Amino acid sequence: MADDEIQTRTCRACGAAYRYPVLKSLATRFHCESCVRLDAATRETFEQFNKRIKQLSAELAQLQRRTAKETQPTDG
Ligand SMILES: [Zn+2]
């Protein structure tokens, strides 16, 4: 893949999907345009929250799968 090809990326700070690189957009490789405008400390806090949210989402999905397995009778 060429380096300057437009890709859909996920912002590290807010988790939003954005296109990069886009002409005149401030978005960077790791952050969407809105998060680029935050100051570094705020962005860092967002990143930590986002990491935690991702972790919790994964745990929740795991629990949901486990619960689904336990409540459904094995059919097959
Ligand atoms: Zn963002």
Task: Write out pLDDT tens, residues 29-46.
Answer: 999 999 999 999 999 999
Mean pLDDT of the chain: 92
Q: Which residues surround ligand 1, an ion (CB under 5 A)?
A: 11, 13-14, 16, 32, 35
- Helix, strand, coil distribution of the chain in percent, nearest 5: 45, 10, 40
Q: What is the pTM of this model?
A: 0.76
pLDDT tens for the chain, 76 residues long, are 566 789 999 999 999 999 999 999 999 999 999 999 999 999 999 999 999 999 999 999 999 999 999 887 766 6
Q: How far is the CA of 23 from the centre of ligand 1 (A)?
A: 17
